[in-house]
Amino acid sequence: MKLCVCMAVLFPVLLVVGATSSILEMTPPISGLALADLRDTFEEVHNGHRHEAIDLLAPRGTPVHAVVSGTIRKLFVSKPGGNTIYQFDEIGLYCYYYAHLDGYAKGLREGMRVERGNVIGFVGSTGNADARTPHLHFAIFELGSEKLWWKGKAVNPYPSLVDALKRTK
């Protein structure tokens, strides 16, 4: 009985520790980024709502890498985001969102497992992005128990990207 109680208490703690690990182990989605390339735009208002993301400027066609290992949950084309990828981390606590992509990596499909660092797409300006300013719109959502990415709680990616860049130096 004591073991069951301990496991019942410990399991949620282990989940939380595991949940933060994907963000803590994140790598930059674009190779060659420098700290000077990052600007915290999470709280800015874009098109009438909070941005809740960071825009990473890069030449059109620049490879976009999976920031963590996990599963491609959704490939979607939308008016605002253009070509988008929703990637869940390995335990399904966070969703990583990549938008305005010029295209997807060859063979990428929903349900596919990807490793951190795999090329999953290419920087572009699809959706409502200015065609003269290709960039990656990158966001992180904390998923609820329902695992619905469109209902996730936005997490500011800026601090995690700063940490990721510092680790790569």
Give the model confidence (pLDDT) of 42-96 as tens digits.
988 877 778 899 999 999 999 999 999 999 999 999 999 999 999 999 999 999 9
Residue-wise pLDDT for 131-169, tens only, equals 999 999 999 999 988 888 888 899 999 999 999 999 887
Which residue range forms the structural domain that includes residue 23?
2-168
**Worst-scoring range by mean pLDDT, 3-7, 43-47, 99-103?**
3-7
Count of domains observed in the chain: 1
Distances (CA, A) of 126 to 14, 101, 122: 39, 6, 11
- Determine the average pLDDT of the residues in 28-40: 93
- Residue 10: its pLDDT value, please? 43
- Letter string b/e over residues 70-91, b meaning 16 or more CB atoms within 10 A of that residue's CB: bbbbebeeeeebbbbbbbbbee
pLDDT recorded at residue 43: 87
Q: How confident is the model at residue 21 (pLDDT cuts 50, 70, 90)?
A: low
CA geometry: angle 66, 70, 74, nearest 5 deg: 80
Give me the CATH number covering residue 115. Answer: 2.70.70.10
Beta bridge partners of 97: 86, 139
**Dihedral, CA atoms, 93, 99, 65, 97, nearest 10 degrees?**
0
Q: Which pLDDT does position 86 carry in this prediction?
A: 97
What is the value of pTM for the model shown? 0.86
